[in-house]
Amino acid sequence: MALLFICEGEDSTDWEAALRAEIPDLDFRVWPDKVGNPDDIDIALTWQPPRALLASFPNLKAILSLGAGVEHILRDPELPPGVPIARLIDPGLQTGMLEFVTMEVLRHHRREPEYRTLQRAGEWKLLRQKLSRDRRIGILGLGHLGAACGEMLARFGFPVSGWARSGKELPGITSYTGEEGLFSLLEQTDILICLLPLTPDTEDILDATTLGALPRGAALINAARGKHVVDDDLIEALDSGQLSGATLDVFREEPLPGDHPFWTHPKIILYPHTAAWTLPESAAPVIADNIRRAHDGTALSGLINLRRGY
């Protein structure tokens, strides 16, 4: 049986080496040039598989995402029924996200964007600083990434609240659930971080209503998916002063079109979907473990619940 690597534009060399170091006899194939007999393929390791491709492998035992998100797989209306799908739970992704979120929280907390504007204007001016205990953080999504970020930020002394589908008991984090809980969190959040999966329930969650529920002058960090944000509502919130700034790593359309207003908005800090990378040297052991589980018929780690969409 064979693993098929399906990730257009990605060099598979390092992946093959890293996975072979874990499973020396792995039959590693690459779509579209090195697929061989479709009947041989029992594991798909993929990012953004083309529509209906996965259904063309009759002996598939597992679909493994190359990222934490799985909406890029679930968008395929012709997925093979009954084949388990797993998201990636990777320590490297978590570390990358911790670094990114910490960097951006501190940037907003310490008013770095305003200092850069003052520098460009040649102006020597001190901006009032706050203690971390007076800067409230709200995190949407308390999973593998959100919970770790929350615990890290709590250690800086920030009061941290988080919102998830189920209630959590996490050190230093006040947990909220449900729609009422969402608005309770929003109204006491100075820096909002989105780390939700993209599902029908979470799409467009950051709109005029939710952004308007934040205290005036709050900041947003979206490191989850672009479709969590209603772009026009975000621009309106920034222009009106409701939000003081936004860090955006992800966009409805990627690459972000050259004429999109986010590129030049003075209150937006923009990154090209780079908050946390899936690196073979960190992810290969986790993926290898799931390959073995699929072969043994045991439950995959990070198994997706199709009804919930994550």
Note the residues at the interface with ligand NDP (CB under 6 A): 67-69, 93, 97, 141-146, 163-166, 195-199, 201-202, 223-225, 249-250, 273, 275-276, 310
Residue 146 CA to residue 192 CA, distance in Å, equals: 12
Binding mask 61-90 for ligand OXD (x = CB under 6 A): ------xxx---------------------
Nearer to ligand NDP, 164 or 218 (CB): 164
- Least separation in angstroms between residue 67's CB and ligand OXD is 3
CB within 8 A of 92, min separation 6: which ones?
276, 277, 278, 279, 281, 282, 283
- Residue with the closest Cβ to ligand OXD? 67
Nearer to ligand NDP, 97 or 137 (CB): 97
- Least separation in angstroms between residue 180's CB and ligand NDP is 12
Catalytic residue among 110, 260, 273, 295: 273
What tokens were used for 163? 């919102």
Nearest-CA neighbor of 140 among 194, 100, 180?
Answer: 194
- Annotate 175-199 with b (16+ C-beta within 10 A) or e (fewer): bbbeeebbebbbeebbbbbbbbbbb
Is 228 a catalytic site residue?
A: no
CB within 8 A of 150, min separation 6: which ones?
137, 139, 142, 160, 162, 170, 172, 173
Q: How many CA atoms lie within 13 A of 280 on its CB side?
A: 15
Is 273 a catalytic site residue?
A: yes
Binding mask 268-287 for ligand OXD (x = CB under 6 A): --------x-x---------
Nearer to ligand OXD, 68 or 139 (CB): 68
Nearer to ligand NDP, 30 or 105 (CB): 105
CB within 8 A of 37, min separation 6: which ones?
none
Which of the residues are catalytic?
A: 225, 273
